[in-house]
């Protein structure tokens, strides 16, 4: 029989639980108690870091209670749940966000002040959780914040990498160097592990026992053999190989102004046994620990490559380890409800964040067929009603493909299942288009070649209920290019769009508290209202006509510029002219994002200023250009771009003729926290990808929400931003997406020398070659990408880019009109809240309903 619960005296439990829930200690008492017990430190030797740790633990106490309450509420109500599978969650810092969402910001600020600390300094102590590369990972983090805030029962699943995205250093020559990011070294108070306390005791400098739940571990198999059973059941037995343990770590995700606190479950790999006793007894100690090393290696590091795929075995192991552990966990939770397995899609939706978790499709087939003993058709029906696939890129080099021999070796049963899916799928295609061999070749899950490859985007597409892109233009490109044949075959209604969004909590209230306060004051609304209904910003529009309001608006921008200047002073030791226009481009370095276009534009401007007389220069409005971003460690051209930026900065910042009118900074080690300082300080930001290449972009939304104007191409979400804020408030330039193919064709077959086609750009390139910024030969490989081929069309867009920047200069001269543009931009950004986006997923894709967790505890009686 089931053991009695709770154990012991129920009344004693109830009373104690009520006390825990209601007798909350004062904030100072809670912090001091953590100082003295959890940290084993004392008042007289407490530094900022200790104060951060104690404050974090105190806040964590609140989160845990809410989180327990939420999970219990969900379990009792048995709602449909959605799961967001993402290999990346770029969370940034947590303390400030948790305080905002709990509504305890002012209280904690006062609390730490009473104890002698300044909240801003305390917040600065926290290290970013940087388990992601860029937009895709940060989008996942915004969606978690919105899911909890919208009271939706959504969990995230990911990997607990020991090393996040690398730390970027810049050498004296201007080269990017990579150092590891051991982010867990100083402890992470924001997670609850499911490890036995004793195993962790050695590491636990200050954390109290962390909800040890040994039951949340699963076994994951690799390699071995898959033998089809001799009957006609279609089942197989997968055996042998390597077995690895997945251990859960739970990160609490508080909703904004609600008790709902969702869960982000991150898996860590562990050897199933500490070491292989057979080898150990034979005296081969090294071999004995080798297998345990290889198990632990699976979750050791985040792959730092975005937009490229390498057939690396460890990466495939990560993908399978994570999807297998997550599916076991999801199935166990479903089975606790005692529903027939065929109801699975009524209770579970799984969103695939790009193709990285696509193995979940054959894995669920394997479980349903081999373990649950369902027929192929029943299993396929369940699978294709459970999964949803979001595509984040149409760049061909970014589409994941895995070599068949590697898949066969690592996941022999999954390779069989993929072949079977492909067989049934191509049979259906053949029935619809008899004799169309070309089409079968194009649509096959297997790309021919030596070796063959599995096309993951096609597998994700046919295994899912719906497929979506992340902005209107991008979704249309998905439908008309990479998945064209699939749209024709399956019908257009399966292929939708959900335009990305950003959380206004972090990207307005937290990063720009003064602007947030001004908005609340002006709208006469608590921020708890407009931060959860961002269309309310529309009511700021009339205030664009109010000179007093404009003055306050502009003054806040100015103080944010000074805050950024202070940051540059502290970390780079450089002075920034805060009277200048601040022009910002911050994103991963990539040729398609065209940081090269920007730096060539800067050089062009520099050369123009050099030619002017001192009188002419005095009429210029000064400009400060900021770059930040990381390059994939093996992306040679992207790294050369960084080197060029750093060396151009060195020359022009030192040139007495020009330095008052133009200066340039490359801020190393870009991160979420650095973005929080840069974004509110921008007058303009640049989103200048070759049209049709940037799926959406999300920082474009963050800048505009903070009243920075957008300079960009007609690409991704730029288009929808312009629709919302009005085309007269953005600076568009460049060729449109439909022209790109034709232009590339011309580059290939009717090349025009760059001197003829774009003399201004040719001149810039020649200055670089000629050594104006140090040895020109260093940059030859970068320059020749433009002189030859020019795949990203810099020579086609350069002149209109320069013209757009001239329009910016002109518009900036009229300060009143400029501030109006800034206000109108912010006021029209309501659409881009990630609350809107997550609600679209919940309603149109997952059929998910919100569940409010009551604010009083009643889970023993209720």
CB of 578 to ligand NBX, least distance (A): 30
- Choose between 135 and 707: whose C-beta lies nearer to ligand NBX: 135
- In this structure, how many other beta carbons lie within 10 angstroms of the beta carbon of residue 125? 19
Q: Is 378 a catalytic residue?
A: no
CA distance 495 to 476: 9
CB of 385 to ligand NBX, least distance (A): 24
Listed residue (73, 470, 5, 53) closest to 263, CA to CA: 73
- 3-state SS, 739-758, equals HHHHHHHHHHHCCCCHHHHC
- Choose between 46 and 141: whose C-beta lies nearer to ligand NBX: 141
CB of 506 to ligand NBX, least distance (A): 16
CB of 329 to ligand NBX, least distance (A): 23
Q: What are 297's two structure tokens?
A: 């290696």
Question: Which of helix, strand or coil describes residue 264?
Answer: strand
Percent of the chain as helix, strand, coil, to the nearest 5 = 55, 15, 30
Q: Is 392 a catalytic residue?
A: yes
CB of 222 to ligand NBX, least distance (A): 20
- In this structure, how many other beta carbons lie within 10 angstroms of the beta carbon of residue 245? 17
Q: What are 800's two structure tokens?
A: 């209109």
CB of 477 to ligand NBX, least distance (A): 12
- Choose between 263 and 393: whose C-beta lies nearer to ligand NBX: 393
Q: Is 557 a catalytic residue?
A: no
CA distance 764 to 794: 12
What is the residue-wise DSSP string for 633-679?
TT-HHHHHHHHHHHHHHHHHHT-TTTTTTEEEEEESS--HHHHHHHG
What is the residue-wise DSSP string for 240-258?
-SEEEEEEEEEEEEEPTTS
- Choose between 794 and 837: whose C-beta lies nearer to ligand NBX: 837
CB of 138 to ligand NBX, least distance (A): 8
- Choose between 312 and 569: whose C-beta lies nearer to ligand NBX: 312
CB of 733 to ligand NBX, least distance (A): 19
- Choose between 341 and 406: whose C-beta lies nearer to ligand NBX: 406
Q: Are 321 and 52 in contact (CB under 8 A)?
A: no
* Helices 759-769, 780-787: crossing angle, 10 deg rounding: 160
- Choose between 99 and 470: whose C-beta lies nearer to ligand NBX: 470
Q: Which one from 593, 605, 735, 824 is the annotated catalytic residue?
A: 593
Listed residue (110, 220, 152, 114) closest to 843, CA to CA: 152
CB of 691 to ligand NBX, least distance (A): 13
CB of 181 to ligand NBX, least distance (A): 16
Listed residue (324, 298, 84) closest to 218, CA to CA: 324
- Choose between 163 and 553: whose C-beta lies nearer to ligand NBX: 163
Q: Which residues bind ligand NBX (CB under 6 A)?
A: 133-136, 139, 305-307, 392-393, 398, 470, 500, 694-698, 716
Listed residue (469, 460, 467) closest to 696, CA to CA: 469
CA distance 115 to 102: 21
CA angle 405, 407, 408 (to 5 degrees): 65
Q: Which residue is nearest to ligand NBX (CB)?
A: 135
Question: Which of helix, strand or coil describes residue 797?
Answer: helix
- In this structure, how many other beta carbons lie within 10 angstroms of the beta carbon of residue 90? 25
Q: Is 588 a catalytic residue?
A: yes
Contacts 24+ apart (CB under 8 A), 109-117: 110/27, 111/26, 111/27, 111/28, 111/31, 111/55, 112/31, 112/51, 112/55, 114/28, 115/28, 115/31, 115/32, 115/43, 115/51, 117/48, 117/51
Listed residue (693, 628, 638, 634) closest to 303, CA to CA: 634
Name the DSSP class of 816. H
Q: Which one from 386, 690, 698, 826 is the annotated catalytic residue?
A: 698
Q: Which one from 41, 259, 588, 639 is the annotated catalytic residue?
A: 588
- Choose between 414 and 687: whose C-beta lies nearer to ligand NBX: 687
In angstroms, what CA-CA distances link 441 with 447, 455, 627, 801?
8, 12, 44, 41
Q: What are 231's two structure tokens?
A: 């009957």
- Choose between 306 and 720: whose C-beta lies nearer to ligand NBX: 306
* Helices 513-523, 547-572: crossing angle, 10 deg rounding: 170
Q: Which one from 587, 590, 630, 820 is the annotated catalytic residue?
A: 587
CB of 218 to ligand NBX, least distance (A): 25
- Choose between 345 and 504: whose C-beta lies nearer to ligand NBX: 504
Q: Is 593 a catalytic residue?
A: yes
Residues, the chain, total? 862
Which positions ≥6 away from 447 have C-beta within 8 Å? 401, 453, 454, 455
State which H helix or E strand residue 444 sits in: none
Could you tell me whether strands 387-390 and 242-254 are parallel, antiparallel, or unpaired per DSSP bridges?
A: unpaired
Question: Which of helix, strand or coil describes residue 439?
Answer: helix
Q: Are 250 and 191 in contact (CB under 8 A)?
A: yes
- In this structure, how many other beta carbons lie within 10 angstroms of the beta carbon of residue 758? 22
Could you tell me whether strands 225-228 and 236-239 are parallel, antiparallel, or unpaired per DSSP bridges?
A: antiparallel
Q: Which one from 41, 270, 550, 702 is the annotated catalytic residue?
A: 702
- Choose between 70 and 133: whose C-beta lies nearer to ligand NBX: 133
CB of 544 to ligand NBX, least distance (A): 29
CA distance 153 to 753: 58
Q: Is 14 a catalytic residue?
A: no
Active site positions, annotated:
392, 587-588, 593, 698, 702
């Amino acid at each position: 029989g089931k053991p009695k619960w709770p154990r012991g005296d129920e009344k004693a439990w109830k009373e104690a639980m009520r006390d825990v829930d209601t007798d909350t200690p004062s904030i100072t008492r809670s912090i001091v108690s953590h100082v003295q017990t959890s940290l084993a430190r004392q008042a007289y030797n407490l530094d900022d870091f200790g104060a951060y740790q104690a404050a974090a633990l105190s806040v964590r106490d609140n989160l845990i209670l809410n989180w327990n309450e939420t999970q219990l509420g969900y379990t009792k109500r048995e709602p449909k749940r959605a799961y967001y599978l993402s290999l990346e969650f770029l969370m940034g810092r947590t303390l400030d966000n948790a305080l905002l969402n709990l509504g305890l910001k002012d209280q904690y600020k006062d609390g730490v002040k009473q104890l002698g600390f300044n909240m801003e300094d305390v917040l600065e102590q926290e290290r970013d959780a940087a388990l992601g590369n860029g937009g895709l990972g940060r989008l996942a983090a915004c969606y978690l914040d919105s899911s909890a805030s919208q009271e939706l029962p959504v969990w995230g699943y990911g990997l607990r990498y020991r090393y996040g995205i690398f730390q970027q250093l810049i050498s004296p020559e201007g080269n990017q160097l990579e150092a590891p990011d051991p982010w867990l070294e100083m402890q992470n108070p924001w997670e609850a592990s499911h490890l036995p306390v004793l195993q962790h005791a050695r590491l636990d400098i200050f954390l109290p026992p962390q909800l040890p739940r040994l039951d949340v571990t699963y076994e994951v198999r690799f390699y071995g053999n898959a033998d089809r059973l001799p009957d006609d059941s279609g089942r197989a037995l997968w055996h042998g190989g390597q077995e690895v343990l997945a251990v859960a770590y739970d990160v609490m995700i508080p909703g904004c102004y609600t008790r709902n606190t969702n869960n982000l479950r991150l898996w860590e790999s562990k050897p199933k046994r500490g070491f292989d006793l057979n080898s150990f007894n034979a005296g081969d100690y090294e071999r004995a620990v080798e297998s345990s090393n290889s198990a632990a290696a699976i979750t050791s590091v985040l792959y730092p490559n975005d937009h490229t795929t390498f057939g690396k075995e460890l990466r495939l192991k990560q993908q399978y380890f994570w999807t297998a552990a997550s599916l076991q966990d999801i199935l166990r939770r479903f089975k606790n409800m005692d529903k027939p397995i065929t109801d699975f899609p009524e209770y579970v939706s799984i969103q695939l964040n790009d193709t990285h978790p696509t193995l979940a499709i054959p894995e669920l087939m394997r479980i349903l067929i081999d373990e649950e003993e369902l027929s192929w058709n029943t299993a396929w029906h369940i699978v294709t009603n459970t999964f949803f696939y979001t595509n984040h890129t149409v760049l061909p080099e970014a589409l994941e493909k895995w070599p068949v021999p590697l898949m066969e070796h690592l996941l022999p049963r999954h390779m069989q299942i993929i072949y079977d899916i492909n067989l049934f799928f191509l049979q259906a295609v053949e029935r619809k288009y008899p004799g169309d061999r070309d089409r079968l070749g194009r649509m096959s899950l297997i790309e021919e070649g030596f070796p063959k490859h599995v096309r993951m985007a096609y597998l994700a597409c046919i295994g899912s209920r719906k497929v979506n892109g992340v902005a209107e233009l991008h979704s249309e490109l998905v439908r008309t290019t990479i998945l064209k044949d699939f749209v024709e075959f399956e019908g257009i209604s399966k292929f939708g769009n959900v335009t990305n969004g950003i959380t206004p909590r972090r990207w307005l209230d937290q990063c720009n508290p003064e602007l947030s306060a001004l908005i609340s004051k002006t709208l006469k609304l608590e921020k708890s209202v407009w931060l959860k209904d961002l269309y309310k910003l529309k009511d700021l529009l009339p205030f664009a006509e109010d000179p007093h309001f404009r003055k306050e608006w502009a003054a806040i921008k100015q103080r944010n510029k000074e805050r950024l200047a202070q940051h540059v002073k502290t970390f780079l030791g450089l002075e920034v002219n805060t009277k200048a226009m601040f022009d910002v481009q911050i994103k991963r370095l990539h040729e398609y994002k065209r940081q090269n276009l920007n730096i060539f534009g800067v050089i062009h401007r520099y050369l123009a200023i050099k030619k002017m007389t001192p009188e002419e220069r005095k009429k210029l409005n000064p400009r400060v250009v900021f770059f930040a971003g990381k390059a994939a460690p093996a992306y040679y051209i992207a790294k050369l771009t960084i080197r060029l930026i750093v060396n151009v900065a060195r020359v022009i910042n030192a040139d007495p003729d020009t330095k008052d009118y133009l200066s340039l900074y490359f801020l190393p080690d870009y991160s979420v926290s650095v973005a929080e300082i840069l974004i509110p300080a921008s007058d303009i930001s640049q989103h200048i990808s070759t049209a049709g290449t940037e799926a959406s972009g999300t920082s474009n939304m963050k800048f505009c929400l903070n009243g920075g104007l957008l300079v960009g191409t007609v690409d991704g979400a730029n288009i929808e931003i312009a629709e919302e804020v009005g085309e007269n408030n953005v600076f568009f330039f460049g060729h449109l997406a439909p022209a790109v193919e034709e232009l590339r064709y011309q580059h290939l077959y009717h090349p025009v020398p760059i001197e003829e086609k774009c003399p201004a750009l040719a001149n810039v390139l020649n200055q670089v070659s000629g050594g104006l910024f140090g040895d020109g030969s260093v940059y030859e490989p970068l320059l020749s990408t433009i002189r030859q081929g020019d795949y990203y069309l810099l020579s086609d867009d350069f002149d209109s880019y320069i013209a757009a920047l001239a329009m910016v200069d002109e518009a900036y001269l009229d300060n009143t009109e400029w501030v109006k543009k800034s206000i109108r931009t912010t006021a029209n950004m309501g659409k881009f809240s990630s609350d809107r986006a997550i609600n679209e997923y919940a309603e149109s894709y997952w059929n998910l309903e919100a569940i409010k967790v009551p604010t009083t505890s009643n889970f023993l009686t209720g």
